[in-house]
């Protein structure tokens, strides 16, 4: 019987699907365990071998937990809304739903081919209306809620209106917009309905506001900060500018402190927690109000160093600050406007990262110092961000390096308020060593005393107070694109109204094109049927809008993180019970939250933060019972590609006499070694290499000046599929792929051209992507699974090398032969030897420890050792080989299922209990002593460990090999170290 892995894997994948082997049950008598992978987006390219790494790890753990007696939920689905499908639709005119469905089919086929134990009965797709119906419902709940600071939780907005009617808002302590004004109950009753709606919108957890956003004209949409790299869109590399737009936002800032505190309750890596702490950015300090000379407006600033207030020599506003246009003098207006426009082209991330460029503009206006009443010039500078704090800073150049550099650059005074400190070269920022000087009533105080005193004096003046601030900003929740969740919102007199739950979902309309309209509206502005009729409670044609019963619907769609912020709850509910709730109370109570979450670290401050926010909100409102979505989180590392490179130069040959071109722009590929020489500037070497090639192959001696290098030495990516394991290039395949190289020549070494190699990120653009389909066809899915785990620790990046997979494939063949020979199954009821039991139980112990510690790479090594030992021991015992299969099955499930079945088992191996480790089999009862003569070992002798020293000596001396070695001589000395050695001297 041979190991036909393709047949075996197809057989068991069909068996698992037909029998729903991995279907989880709600309310099982078993303890529950929920294993989840981060939500994949189904791209058109399908999977490459780097993608399954985390899935394989989670699958091993899910299978292990089933063996340990748990009811395991291990679901899968698709984050199927998104920009890539929409961009493809714009280019081709094909509906994104068609593209998405095609991509999902490819993903599903590939995932099944690798043998994952997913419960596909619970599949989720964010682009399905039956799913996003509940995303819309959650949005409505957020709209109908506010954050009560006293209760430290979200509450129904109806509570606010009740209080407003009785006593106004003077007693309300809630998260709200900064411009909320006090009003009485009488005022509230006198407000019009529309005025009341405006006020409530300032308290709601999702609200409309004019916000500075990252606008990408080419993509026609707003981008989140993490969708921008080096000032351009991550998708497509298009320019991004800052722009004010009316957007839906989520008041995540209300949860800042709870998001910080919650990190202490979950098992995440320290680095990931630190990323979130930095993003949330808690700061303790003071809010200070500066009056503006000749204006009614004031500048609000937040500072962590109120003790340095007497060192303020200028104010700096963000270029986008709303006061800039109001306070800029006519003399400065042109300069300021030009600077604002230039700054709009830079992303916030770029501005934060760029500490070298110093730029700004003077507004011509002055503020008044709260204590000295001296005028303070007001500047704008792009190192201040509109979205952080108040968008304004009191600039203290002696105590802040960016203020210091700004002041030096623009020749602004730098007063020194630190006792005994030299600030001639740089600012002084060590608050613990601070002694305040030249600061009126603060002089002589340290940081802590000065801070308390200045806050007291500011409060007494009515120009400040102590405050805790957070860097975390409210999240923009609108996208100007088509392929996303529609908002369940229509507008009456420009005021947002929610559509009742019973009429959800509001389904995406058809549009002729997926681009913004000519008027700049989002793509939904192209829909002919996109208005809401309050009489029929349905979507109707736009031409029926009359503002009495038919109203315009929201044209924006929700961002990608909407559906991915709660999908893990949807998996908890069986498909048959999803119509009436996003998940039933029983399902939510049983599964609670995710026990193990595996995914990439790139989601640290995006998806993971938003999901935690939504879960805390849903808990506040009583919709779920947990405060955190993911108990334990592991970031898998990246599998890197091994790119292939060719190195070439274009050359021409010119006739010396006529100056005519004999050979024009011929590309010649040379070796990596010669290419590396050019990196040192040695062009003469390349000329000699090319001349040598021409002399040898064209049989025409030429002079140096007749050879012209038309281009510098260059390198080009070569698709890895055109290169074999020995780095040899299939030249014809390469030429056919790249027409510009169809006439290329190659300097060969032993008849072949060898490419250069470099390890880097696996990417289509680098032509180093390895398709798992090819690996599964050639080596099998079990080989792929084992190899990806064998590459190294789960959390680390590691390079892929297809040649390396032959090792684990060879192991699987050896495993097969341990159970099967030419005559069939060789396993029988033979009694297990001590060595058999020792090998099995040390393997059980090590594998269980490895899986619990997510050290999957060392488990693979352990399996190899075990199979080698049992093969040497000629083990055929069912009592040994059957539990060994269970140990291996989470890693290589197909071969394990086949051999398990061959051993006469009728149920899937996944139902078998994990073997129990028995320490007694690892306790040594004997020692294999090395018997040495004059320090040289001649043979070994196994003796009981509890044998006395005298008995050891007698036994050794009576042994026939000892007698033969001594040849009748009497030894001078016999050294016995019990448990170690015996050495006979003389």
Residues of the chain under the 70 pLDDT cut: 224-226, 655-665, 679-683, 695-711
Residue 207, SS3? strand
Phi, psi of 117 (to 5 degrees): -90, 55
Distance CA 872, CA 874 (A): 5
CB 583 within 8 A of CB 570: yes
d(CA 140, CA 162): 20
Q: What is the pLDDT of residues 18-75, one digit of tens each?
A: 999 999 999 899 999 999 999 999 988 889 999 999 999 999 999 999 999 999 999 9
Look at residues 939, 948, 946 and name the one whose alpha carbon lies nearest to residue 983. 939
Are 235 and 87 spatial neighbours (Cβ–Cβ below 8 Å)?
A: yes
Give backbone dihedrals phi and psi of 103, rounded to 5 degrees, phi first: -65, -40
Residues 628, 268: Cα–Cα separation, whole Å: 12
What one-character DSSP code corresponds to residue 376?
E
Task: Identify the H or E element spanning 12.
Answer: helix 5-19
Helix axis angle for 607-620 and 270-280, nearest 10°, is 70
- Alpha-carbon distance of 842 to 851, in angstroms, equals 14
What does the pLDDT read at residue 704? 46
CB 317 within 8 A of CB 391: yes
Query: 122, 114, 174: which is closest to 150 by C-alpha?
Result: 174
What CA–CA distances, in Å, run from 622 to 212, 616, 619?
Answer: 33, 10, 5
Which residues, at least 6 apart from 518, have a Cβ–Cβ distance to it below 8 Å? none
The DSSP letter of residue 358 is -
Measuring CA to CA, which residue among 312, 483, 472 is closest to residue 389?
A: 472
Q: Is the dihedral of CA 160, 163, 168, 169 positive or negative?
A: negative
Dist CA 170 CA 148 (whole Å): 14
Bridge partner residues of 670 (DSSP): 647
Structure tokens at 517: 């309209």
The pLDDT value given to residue 88? 86
Q: What is the pLDDT of residue 686?
A: 75
pLDDT at 699: 47
The answer for residues whose C-beta is within 8 angstroms of residue 482's C-beta and 6 or more apart is 86, 89, 96, 508, 511, 514, 522, 523, 524, 557
Q: Which residues is 465 bridged to in the sheet?
A: 287
* Alpha-carbon dihedral angle through residues 937, 941, 947, 953, given to the nearest 10 degrees: -50
898-957 confidence digits (pLDDT tens): 999 999 999 999 999 999 999 999 887 788 899 999 999 999 998 988 889 999 999 999
Q: What is the dihedral of CA 767, 770, 771, 773, to 10 degrees?
A: 150
Q: Which residues contact 30 (CB under 8 A, 6 or more apart)?
A: 69, 70, 71
Rounded Cα–Cα distance for residues 636 and 797 (Å): 8
User: Looking at residue 27, what is its pLDDT?
Assistant: 85
Which two three-digit tokens encode residue 505? 């979902």
Q: Which residues pair with 362 in a beta bridge?
A: 379
pTM of the model: 0.86
908's tokens = 């899937």
Question: And the tokens for 948?
Answer: 């006395």
Cis before 505? omega within 30: yes
DSSP 194: H
């Amino acid at each position: 019987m041979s190991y036909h892995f393709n047949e075996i894997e197809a057989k068991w994948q069909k068996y698992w699907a037909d029998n729903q082997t991995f279907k989880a049950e709600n309310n099982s008598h078993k303890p529950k365990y929920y294993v989840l992978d981060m939500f994949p987006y189904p791209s058109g390219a399908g999977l490459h071998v780097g993608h399954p790494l985390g899935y394989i790890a989670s699958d091993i753990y899910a299978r292990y937990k089933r063996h340990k007696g748990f009811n395991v939920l291990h679901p899968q689905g698709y984050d199927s809304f998104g920009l890539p499908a929409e961009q493809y639709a714009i280019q081709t005119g094909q509906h994104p739903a068609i593209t998405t469905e095609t991509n999902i089919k490819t993903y599903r086929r590939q995932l099944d081919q690798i043998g994952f134990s997913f419960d596909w009965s619970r599949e989720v797709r964010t682009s399905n209306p039956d799913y996003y119906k509940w995303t819309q419902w959650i949005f409505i709940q957020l709209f109908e809620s506010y954050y009560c600071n006293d209760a430290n939780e979200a509450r129904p907005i109806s509570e606010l209106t009740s209080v407003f009617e009785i006593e106004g808002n003077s007693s309300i302590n809630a998260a709200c917009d900064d411009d909320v004004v006090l009003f009485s109950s009488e005022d509230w009753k006198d407000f019009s309905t529309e005025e009341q709606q405006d006020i409530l919108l300032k308290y709601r957890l999702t609200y409309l506001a004019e916000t500075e956003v990252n606008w990408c004209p080419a993509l026609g949409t707003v981008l989140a900060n993490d969708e921008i790299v080096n000032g351009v869109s991550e998708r497509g590399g298009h320019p991004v500018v800052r722009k004010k737009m009316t957007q839906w936002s989520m008041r995540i800032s209300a949860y800042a402190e709870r998001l910080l505190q919650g990190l202490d309750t979950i098992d995440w890596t320290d680095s990931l927690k630190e990323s979130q702490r930095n993003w949330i950015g808690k700061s303790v300090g003071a809010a200070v109000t500066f009056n503006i000379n000749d204006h009614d407006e004031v500048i609000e600033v937040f500072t962590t160093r109120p003790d340095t207030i007497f060192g303020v020599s200028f104010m700096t506003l963000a270029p986008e600050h709303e006061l800039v246009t109001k306070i800029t003098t006519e003399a400065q207006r042109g300069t300021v406007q030009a600077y604002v426009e230039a700054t709009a082209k830079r992303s916030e991330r770029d501005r934060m990262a760029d500490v070298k460029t110093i730029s700004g503009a003077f507004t011509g206006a002055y503020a008044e110092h709260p204590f000295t009443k001296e005028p303070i010039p007001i500047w704008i500078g792009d190192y201040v961000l509109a979205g952080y704090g108040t968008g304004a800073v009191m600039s203290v150049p002696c105590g802040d390096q960016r203020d210091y550099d700004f002041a030096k650059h623009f020749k602004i005074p730098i007063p020194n308020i630190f006792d005994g400190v030299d600030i001639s070269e740089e600012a002084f920022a060590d608050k613990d060593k601070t002694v305040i000087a030249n600061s009126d009533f603060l002089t002589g105080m340290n940081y802590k005393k000065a801070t308390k005193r200045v806050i007291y004096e500011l409060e007494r003046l009515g120009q400040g107070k102590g405050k805790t601030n957070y860097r975390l900003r409210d999240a923009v929740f609108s996208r100007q694109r088509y392929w996303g969740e529609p908002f369940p919102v229509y507008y009456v007199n420009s005021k947002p109204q929610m559509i009742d739950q019973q009429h959800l979902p509001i389904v995406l309309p058809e549009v002729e094109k997926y681009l913004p309209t000519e008027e700049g509206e989002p793509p939904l502005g192209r829909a002919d049927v996109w208005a809401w009729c309050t009489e029929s409670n349905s979507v109707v044609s736009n031409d029926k809008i009359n503002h009495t019963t038919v109203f315009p619907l929201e044209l924006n769609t929700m961002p990608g993180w909407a559906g991915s912020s709660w999908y893990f709850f949807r998996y908890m509910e069986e498909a048959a019970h999803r119509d009436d709730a996003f998940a039933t109370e029983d399902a939510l109570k049983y599964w609670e939250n995710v026990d193990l979450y595996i995914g990439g670290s790139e989601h640290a401050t995006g998806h993971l933060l938003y999901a935690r926010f939504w879960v805390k909100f849903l808990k506040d409102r009583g919709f779920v019972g947990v405060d955190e979505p993911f108990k334990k989180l592991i970031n898998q590392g990246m599998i890197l590609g091994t790119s292939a490179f060719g190195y070439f130069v274009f050359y021409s040959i010119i006739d010396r006499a006529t100056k005519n071109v004999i050979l024009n722009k011929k590309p010649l590929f040379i070796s990596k070694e010669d290419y590396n020489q050019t990196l040192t500037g040695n062009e003469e070497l390349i000329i000699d290499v090319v001349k040598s090639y021409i002399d040898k192959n064209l049989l025409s001696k030429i002079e140096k000046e007749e050879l012209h290098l038309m281009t510098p030495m260059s390198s080009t990516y070569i698709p890895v599929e055109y290169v074999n394991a020995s780095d040899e290039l299939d030249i014809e395949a390469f030429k056919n792929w790249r027409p510009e190289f169809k006439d290329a020549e190659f300097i060969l070494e032993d008849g072949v051209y060898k490419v250069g190699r470099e390890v880097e990120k696996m990417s289509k653009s680098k032509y180093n992507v390895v398709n798992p389909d090819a690996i599964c066809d050639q080596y099998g899915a079990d080989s792929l699974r084992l190899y990806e785990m064998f590459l190294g620790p789960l959390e680390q990046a590691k390079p892929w090398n297809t040649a390396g997979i032959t090792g684990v494939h060879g192991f699987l063949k050896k495993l097969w032969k341990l159970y099967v020979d030419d005559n069939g199954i060789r396993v029988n009821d033979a009694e297990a030897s001590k060595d058999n039991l020792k090998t099995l139980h040390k393997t059980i112990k090590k594998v269980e420890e490895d899986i619990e510690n997510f050290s999957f790479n060392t488990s693979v090594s352990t399996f190899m050792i075990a199979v080698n030992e049992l093969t040497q021991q000629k083990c055929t015992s069912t009592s040994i080989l059957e539990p060994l299969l269970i140990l291996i099955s989470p890693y290589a499930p197909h071969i394990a299922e086949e051999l398990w079945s061959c051993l006469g088992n009728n149920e899937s191996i996944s139902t078998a209990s994990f073997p129990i480790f028995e320490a007694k089999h690892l306790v040594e009862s004997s020692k294999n002593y090395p018997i040495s003569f004059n320090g040289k070992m001649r043979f070994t002798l196994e003796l009981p460990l509890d044998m006395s020293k005298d008995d050891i000596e007698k036994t050794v001396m009576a042994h026939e090999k000892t007698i033969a070695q001594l040849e009748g001589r009497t030894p001078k000395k016999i050294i016995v170290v019990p448990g170690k050695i015996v050495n006979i001297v003389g």
